[in-house]
């Protein structure tokens, strides 16, 4: 004997079953699976930074804060206010990592300045603990805390621009109910990096680098009758967005590379192997679409290259350069 359920309960059971089935489909058919955590992101310029030959002398630098100076927030699809910033707020850590990677750690000694109050507090705790819990005899046997390393050069700057929708476009077509379209968007992030001499406050060098961020969206659809009262309708889509923080990291790494090359061109620091350094400088200048003019010393030997305007073919006298670490430690 069968019992017929009322229409409302039967409709509720049917909707619940359909919802469970749809949930199961979305769980089983994921177009992209998640991956495990990775050790580090390798940008397109990190190999150039790691492959730099060692300097004549390692440079001590301090990084206080590499700030987000754009003042921009993420765009929201709705009219609601979005408090998330458009770019990362951890650019200081990215800059420190890029400095450590330069020449596989042979170029810079980075001293901690972003968390300087925490560092000073820890040193204060050590001194107070020694005085409070150790006798004078034991305290006299301990060496004092070593002095903190001071830096002759400060690296400063920040993310100065994040321009969105610099270039947008799309293309689409449909024929007999079958079609597809694509949309793209280009954004740009720009950073400035400058080296400042601590003793006199001079700006030794300033560089600017930019990185383009591309976003692409692809869609395909079918809307067609395949038989009498039989309609086929299907849609598929895919979008690819480059993370802005990865673009910031690549721009910072390129900025550190440019700072090293520009400083070597101006004689602020030098390579341990002058011949290899001159080869890198020439390649760097050619990449900047500038003319690399050779510079010869008084003995007639090639000392390096200097940038010259496109209409200049004469040689430029060599500038007297002093190693930054030596010049600012006297």
Residue 323 has pLDDT above 60, yes or no: no
pLDDT at 260: 96
- CB distance 52 to 260 below 8 Å: yes
Higher-confidence residue: 218 or 211? 211
- CB distance 177 to 216 below 8 Å: no
C-alpha to C-alpha distance for 54 and 273, rounded to whole angstroms = 8
pLDDT at 324: 41
Residue 11 has pLDDT above 50, yes or no: no
pLDDT in tens, 142-165: 888 899 999 999 999 999 988 877
User: Domains of the chain (ranges plus CATH)?
Assistant: 41-113+151-327 (3.40.50.10610)
Q: Record the tokens describing residue 33, joined without a space.
A: 């699976």
C-alpha to C-alpha distance for 152 and 158, rounded to whole angstroms = 20
Residue 40 has pLDDT above 90, yes or no: no
Spell 210-240 as b/e; 16+ CB within 10 A means b.
ebebebeeebebbeeeeeeeeeeeeeeeeee
Would you place residue 224 in the very low, low, confident or very high pLDDT band (cuts 50, 70, 90)? low
- CB distance 244 to 297 below 8 Å: no
Interval 166-178 mean pLDDT: 63
């Amino acid at each position: 004997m069968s019992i017929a359920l009322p229409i409302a309960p039967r409709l509720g059971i049917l909707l619940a079953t359909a919802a469970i089935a749809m949930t199961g489909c979305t769980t089983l058919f994921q177009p992209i699976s998640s991956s495990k955590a990775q050790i580090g992101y390798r940008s397109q310029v990190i190999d150039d930074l790691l492959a730099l030959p060692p300097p004549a002398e390692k440079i001590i630098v301090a990084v206080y804060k590499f700030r987000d100076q754009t003042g921009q927030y993420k765009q929201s699809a709705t009219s609601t206010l979005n408090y998330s910033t458009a770019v990362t707020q951890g650019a200081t850590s990215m800059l420190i990592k890029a400095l450590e990677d330069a020449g596989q750690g042979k170029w810079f000694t980075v001293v901690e300045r972003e968390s300087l109050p925490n560092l000073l507090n820890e040193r204060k705790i050590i001194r107070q603990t020694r005085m409070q819990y150790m006798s004078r005899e034991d305290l006299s046997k301990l060496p004092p805390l070593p002095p903190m390393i001071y830096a002759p050069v400060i690296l400063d700057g920040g993310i100065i621009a994040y321009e969105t929708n610099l270039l947008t476009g799309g293309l689409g077509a449909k024929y007999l109910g079958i079609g597809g379209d694509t949309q793209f968007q280009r954004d740009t992030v720009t950073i400035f990096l400058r080296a400042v001499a601590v003793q006199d406050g001079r700006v030794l060098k300033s560089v600017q680098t930019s990185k383009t961020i591309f976003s692409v969206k692809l869609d395909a659809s079918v809307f067609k009758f395949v038989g009498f009262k039989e309609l086929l309708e299907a849609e598929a889509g895919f979008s690819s967005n480059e993370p802005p923080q990865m673009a910031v990291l690549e721009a910072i790494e390129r900025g550190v590379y440019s700072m090293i090359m520009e400083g070597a061109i101006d004689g602020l620091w030098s390579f341990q192997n002058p011949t290899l350094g001159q080869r890198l400088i020439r390649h760097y200048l050619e990449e900047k679409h500038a003319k690399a003019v050779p510079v010869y010393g008084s003995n007639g030997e090639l000392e390096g290259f200097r940038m010259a305007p496109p209409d200049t073919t004469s040689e430029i006298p060599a500038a007297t350069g002093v190693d930054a670490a030596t010049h600012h430690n006297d």
